[in-house]
Amino acid sequence: MNIETIKEHINDVLKETDFKNLGERKVGKVRDVYTMPDKIVLVSTDRHSSFDRIIAHIPFKGEVLNQISAFYFEQTKDIIQNHVLSIPDPNVLVARKCTPLPIEAIVRGYITGVTSTSLWTHYQDGKRDFGNFVLPEGMKKNQKLPEPVFTPSTKFEEHDRTLSPQEIVAEGLMSKELVDEVEKTAKAIFLRGQEIALSKGLILVDTKYEFGLDENGKLMLIDEIHTPDSSRYWKADSYQARLDKGEEPEYFDKEFLRIWFKENCDPYKDEKLPEAPIELVAELSRRYIEIYETITGKSFEHDFNTPIMERITNNLSKI
């Protein structure tokens, strides 16, 4: 889909939903989650969150996220069961109910990042022993790790904390056996994701997974998987040359929209934010579509004949 087509449909976005017949609604950053007696309905909207608030609505984003997850759930179901019951609409996933685990399973394949919790920041500060793995001396930023590492964090706290598996057990959050199973499974899914991404010319750098326990206490993959919102991707063909020159890898970049807001307002304090420029919103939409098409090998198709809410309502009537 070209940028001009996206601009024509810049206001055709799914901002929110309020279905009265789907049970209790919980509004997340991107998804509206409805809890029914026997299942959960997750509707991926076009909301774009940053600075702890919604800063824009990106056309087709919800469809892209939902369909990339659908693709990867299918590609990894031989490794672990997942919560997918059906995908009745491009924006909707109907899921099995389960008991969510209290941690996010973060897996990293490269030493990178700039935040206070990033592996590279800790490494620069002299940390080598991370509890469940030890990194060698002399590593460079953006270098591939000897093998993927598991750096879980808490999920239901106001400010998430990175914990070692030993600390998760010590704090009584999960048993050692369950933590071990989550780590082993998360790494296996990540390696599969890296393999698929590399075959499409991309490097899956790091990601986060969420798990739950089904009615029999068996581990299940939930939420989303390997989307550009939960994962970092770099372009594979230029990676080594740029690393050798000390340059940053080519990556799927959403940062330009954040930068615009930081330059044009105080996104943390201003009560009302300015409207993001159409050119930037359309470009971000184009990038989401590009990564969908690259990963799945399919052309992105959107039903331009039916308004989004009408289409979703029609499709949900069949579940």
* Three-state SS letters, 187-243: HHHHHHHHHHHHHCCEEEEEEEEEEEECCCCCEEEECCCCCCCCEEEEECCCHHHHH
* Domain end point (choices 217, 244, 271): 244
The answer to whether residue 249 sits within a structural domain is no
The answer to whether residue 118 sits within a structural domain is yes
The answer to whether residue 138 sits within a structural domain is yes
**Per-position pLDDT tens, the chain of length 319:** 899 999 999 999 999 999 999 999 999 999 999 999 999 999 999 999 998 899 999 999 999 999 999 999 999 999 999 999 999 999 999 999 999 999 999 999 999 988 888 899 999 999 999 999 999 999 999 999 999 999 999 987 767 788 999 999 999 999 999 999 999 999 999 999 999 999 999 999 999 999 999 999 999 999 999 999 999 999 999 999 999 999 999 998 888 999 999 999 999 999 999 999 999 999 999 999 999 999 999 999 999 999 999 999 999 998 8
Q: Which domain does 45 fall in, by range?
A: 3-97+254-316
Does 113 share its domain with 239?
Answer: yes
pTM of the model: 0.94
The answer to whether residue 191 sits within a structural domain is yes
Does 295 share its domain with 209?
Answer: no
Q: How many C-beta atoms lie closer than 10 Å to residue 306's C-beta?
A: 12
Does 64 share its domain with 126?
Answer: no
Does 133 share its domain with 224?
Answer: yes
Does 222 share its domain with 258?
Answer: no
Which residues are paired to 111 by β-bridges? Answer: 143
Does 86 share its domain with 117?
Answer: no
Q: How many structural domains compose the chain?
A: 2
81: CATH: 3.30.200.20
Do 105 and 152 touch, CB atoms closer than 8 A? yes
146: CATH: 3.30.470.20
Spatial distance between the Cα atoms of 92 and 81, rounded to a whole number of angstroms:
19
Does 231 share its domain with 312?
Answer: no
* Domain end point (choices 191, 219, 244): 244
Does 262 share its domain with 279?
Answer: yes
* Domain end point (choices 190, 220, 244): 244
The distance in angstroms from the start CA to the end CA of the chain is 30
